[in-house]
Structure 1
Amino acid sequence: MRTELTDTTSSKIDRALLAARRAVGSHTTGLVLTLIVATDEENAYDAVRAATEAAREHPCRIIVVIKRTSRGPHTLRETRLDAELRVGSDAGTGEIVILRLHGELTGHTGSVVLPLLVPDAPVVAWWPADAPDRPAHDELGALAQRRITDAQSAPDPVAVLDERAAAYTPGDTDLAWTRLTPWRALLAAALDQSGLPVTGAGVESEAGNPSAELLARWLEDRLGVPVERVATRGPVITRVRLETADGEIRIDRPAGAVATLSVPGRPDRPVALKIRTNAELIAEELRRLDADVIYGSALRRRPLQAALSA
């Protein structure tokens, strides 16, 4: 069921949600959290689709906040809130509220969203693009226990990581880090199998990949060895190598969804290492609502070796 509201208020939206639930035969919400998606019109469709798919695993109220900038001489006078509500089959397993803020309301997003949060439930904020410099101090970020950004969407992703490190607050995370979960799991398992001390490491990827930089910082933080950054044609991360006295532990993924894991003294074996969708990444982040201290430690790690080989 879809409901359109023009020039409305937060209280009217809340009442309309209740009426929509009754109309589809659902008098209780059964929602486990609120997911706030702060985006623009250009990225809204993909963001709503990803959030809706993630909500299949975590039933939630998705509140999409879109700031609209009007054109013309009467721009400042046009203060208006429009909303689109989706409940039932149109919203998957949760509810979707798409808010379009015009005029002065664009500077008061927190006040607009606050009455629409699911009562007594955690709040997660996600910026698919154009995230604030200090997410925890943003109006929407201040409402959330977890704040998800994506450095990959920035013009200079690696520089953005340094900015995020300076402004880091427990509860912050980034999809560039979430993309590393399979890589980190494989590397940890390989080290457990070998039992060998690591004397050096290297990460090879396309230039400017924030996940590769975070992976290098994580290895330096956990292993205490310098990590060489090597630029390749990609796509994304293509190889990680750990140097030991018996040879290299290596993960090669030149292309595709299958990588090769090499451990000294053991036969090479193929491992699944696909590039995951944003929906899969968001679903993973919604599984944990506590602070990711490992991410915070890796993000703020000062590189032991700043040079990038070509």
Structure 2
Amino acid sequence: MIIDLNETTVSTVARKLVSVREEGGAVALGRVLTLIIKSDYRPVEEAIEAANDASREHPMRVIVLVTHPEDASRLDAQIRVGGDAGASEVVILRAHGDAGSNPESLVTGLLLPDAPVVVWWPDSPPAAPALDPLGRIAHRRITDSSTSPEAADRLQRLDETYRPGDTDLAWTRLTRWREQLASVLDQPPYEDVTAVEVRGASTSPSTALLAAWLGLALEVPVAWQYERPSTWDHGIHSVRLARPSGDILLERHSPTHATLTQPGQPDHDLLLPRRSLRECLAEELRRLDPDRLYGRVITDGWDALRAPAETHGTAAVPTIPSDHAESAE
């Protein structure tokens, strides 16, 4: 069911939510959190669909706030429940002009009582998420540097502004890569890794985060290199781990499959698909405490990766071109 409320107020929207629950028998008792999705101008249907899918694992209220600062002041709203909202309640607020000048006041009256708050910026994140008006009321703050327009310094900004509770979907997309690499190193021969090479597309912040994680976890030199677009134009391409008995190579050949090459063993074809937006969001919503590993990677690991080779033994960091369209892992 979809209910449109044009030129309305937040209190009217809140009353309508209560009315819908009473008339339709819908209840909010099973909701475990409030997810706020913040966007400027842009349609966010893809983000809403991802939230609806994730709500089947994490029942929640979804508040979508889209601001149009240059318009005349007014607030339009839409409420979605039932089949149009998955296992959630979706409230879409379109704040025009001055109506969107205080985003915190727009959402406060719609938050679930005594429930954690997560804020997600699916397109253009604020410069410092923890200092943003919405970020200040959130337990977790989710950005996605693969969509950030500040391509040249997107990860450096996350490093400089990081606060516990921040996370980034470019990091979440690495879960399968991290699991696969950890699994390989848990098998004999149990040799130390002496060097690491990570290769990927220049538009992939996940490639840089994987290199930073490996350098932090293994405490070895990491060479982080970009592929030419004609060779590989999206996401992570390969990871090479050097050991005394020979190199381990995990190389992706398509968006869904990769090959694992190890000394003395036949090559293994692996299913290594790129993760969907729904999968990444659902994973982030499973934890409402700070992701301390991500915090170490985006600060200590990223700083070590960027350090001069002669000082820290890591490869020089390539410049991320700012004129490329962003791509996910």
Provide the residue aligned with 2:310 in structure 1. Answer: none
Retained in 2: the 8 A contact 1:158–1:209? no
Aligned equivalent of 1:161, options 155, 172, 186: 155
How far, CA to CA, are the matches of 1:36 and 1:144 in structure 2?
9
Aligned equivalent of 1:305, options 315, 318, 323: 315
Secondary structure in 1 matching 2:315? coil
Retained in 2: the 8 A contact 1:235–1:255? no
Alpha-carbon distance change, 137 to 296 in structure 1, aligned in 2, over 3 angstroms: same
Alpha-carbon distance change, 82 to 307 in structure 1, aligned in 2, over 3 angstroms: closer
The unaligned stretches of length 5 or more in structure 1 are 72-77
Number of aligned residues: 303
The unaligned stretches of length 5 or more in structure 2 are 306-313, 320-329
- 1:48 is displaced (CA, Å) by 1.2
Residues 114-167 of structure 1: per-residue CA shift (max 9 Å, x gap): 111111111111001110011011011111111000000123435111011011
- 1:266 is displaced (CA, Å) by 3.0
Aligned equivalent of 2:210, options 181, 199, 215: 215
Letter in 2 for 1:246: S
- For 1:233-272, what aligned pairs fall within 5 Å after superposition? 233-272=232-271
How far, CA to CA, are the matches of 2:15 and 2:57 in structure 1?
26
Retained in 1: the 8 A contact 2:130–2:141? yes
Residues 61-103 of structure 1: per-residue CA shift (max 9 Å, x gap): 01000001345xxxxxx33221100112221111000001122
1:125 aligns with 2:105: no
Moved more, 36-45 or 195-204: 36-45
TM-score by length of 2: 0.88
1:181 aligns with 2:175: yes
- 1:51 is displaced (CA, Å) by 1.4
How far, CA to CA, are the matches of 2:152 and 2:221 in structure 1?
18
How far, CA to CA, are the matches of 1:187 and 1:47 in structure 2?
30
Residues 224-259 of structure 1: per-residue CA shift (max 9 Å, x gap): 112111222233111111100011111110213111
Provide the residue aligned with 1:75 in structure 2. Answer: none
C-alpha root-mean-square deviation of aligned residues, in Å? Answer: 1.6
- 1:28 is displaced (CA, Å) by 4.1
Retained in 2: the 8 A contact 1:158–1:213? no
Alpha-carbon distance change, 97 to 211 in structure 1, aligned in 2, over 3 angstroms: same
Retained in 2: the 8 A contact 1:228–1:308? no
How far, CA to CA, are the matches of 2:6 and 2:317 in structure 1?
54
How far, CA to CA, are the matches of 1:3 and 1:61 in structure 2?
16
Provide the residue aligned with 1:205 in structure 2. Answer: 200
How far, CA to CA, are the matches of 1:102 and 1:43 in structure 2?
14
Provide the residue aligned with 1:100 in structure 2. Answer: 94
Letter in 1 for 2:224: R
How far, CA to CA, are the matches of 1:231 and 1:281 in structure 2?
24
Provide the residue aligned with 1:289 in structure 2. Answer: 288
Provide the residue aligned with 2:52 in structure 1. Answer: 52
Provide the residue aligned with 1:12 in structure 2. Answer: 12
How far, CA to CA, are the matches of 2:150 and 2:263 in structure 1?
37
Provide the residue aligned with 2:31 in structure 1. Answer: 31
Retained in 2: the 8 A contact 1:37–1:126? yes
Retained in 1: the 8 A contact 2:35–2:118? yes
Provide the residue aligned with 1:229 in structure 2. Answer: 224
How far, CA to CA, are the matches of 2:116 and 2:269 in structure 1?
39
How far, CA to CA, are the matches of 1:296 and 1:90 in structure 2?
36
Residues 46-71 of structure 1: per-residue CA shift (max 9 Å, x gap): 11111111112111101000001345
